[in-house]
Amino acid sequence: MAEQGFEVEGIDNAKAGIEKVQKMAQERKMKIGLRCICAQEFDYGKERYQLVYSFWTFNFMPRQDFIAILPKIKASIKPKGCFLAGVFTVMDNQKCPKKKGYRKGHLFGLNQLLKDFIDFRILRYKEGVYNDPGHPPDFRPHQHAIAMIFAQKIK
């Protein structure tokens, strides 16, 4: 997005996540506003963003935390602005079994993200299986059960 001339802000609650994006931005000589902060504590503001984008993060917080920030996220989007996200679904337990205690968050129920944005115009919604090529700490390819949404604020 920044490479295409958009003004971009990003948050992550882990220093390592911020440093990774900082490095990428420096290599590409891009300016991105980055903050190490929990999504639950971030001040989203009112009608500030044309697009709010999040991939594979909301499933790492309890459902009640997501419910609490949902109205703030919606309010932060400009009229006719969009929300784009990907989350892991309940089917992920079959696709990608984790060690006990690994998950501090929640897995989205089937159609849940769709219902969460039912007051938006749903431009795309998809549930399925994503082939993950692997990442630290275990680089083996694996699969995730996912839901993805692209929705537009009506007014």
Ligand X SMILES: C[S@@+](CC[C@H](N)C(=O)[O-])C[C@H]1O[C@@H](n2cnc3c(N)ncnc32)[C@H](O)[C@@H]1O
Q: Is the peptide bond before 97 cis (omega within 30 degrees of 0)?
A: no
CB of 26 to ligand X, least distance (A): 17
Q: d(Cα 29, Cα 90) in Å, to the nearest integer? A: 39
**Cα dist. 149→18, 72, 125, 153 in Å?**
24, 18, 5, 13
- Using CB under 6 A as the binding rule, whether residue 10 contacts ligand X is answered as no
CB of 135 to ligand X, least distance (A): 8
- Residue 80 near residue 152, CB atoms below 8 Å: yes
Q: d(Cα 32, Cα 2) in Å, to the nearest integer? A: 7
CB of 63 to ligand X, least distance (A): 13
Choose, by CB under 6 A, the member of 2, 34, 48, 57 that binds ligand X: 57
Residue found under tokens 């696709």: 95
- Using CB under 6 A as the binding rule, whether residue 44 contacts ligand X is answered as no
- Using CB under 6 A as the binding rule, whether residue 17 contacts ligand X is answered as yes
- Using CB under 6 A as the binding rule, whether residue 24 contacts ligand X is answered as no
- Using CB under 6 A as the binding rule, whether residue 14 contacts ligand X is answered as yes
Total site size for ligand X, rule CB under 6 A: 13
Pairing mode, strands 142-152 and 121-132: antiparallel
- Using CB under 6 A as the binding rule, whether residue 53 contacts ligand X is answered as no
Choose, by CB under 6 A, the member of 24, 30, 38, 110 that binds ligand X: 38
Q: Considering only CA atoms, which of 36, 104, 116, 110 is closest in space to residue 70?
A: 116
Q: d(Cα 53, Cα 21) in Å, to the nearest integer? A: 15
C-beta closer to ligand X: residue 16 or 118: 16
Choose, by CB under 6 A, the member of 32, 39, 85, 149 that binds ligand X: 39
- Given the rule CB under 6 A, which residues bind ligand X? 11-14, 17, 38-40, 55-57, 60-61
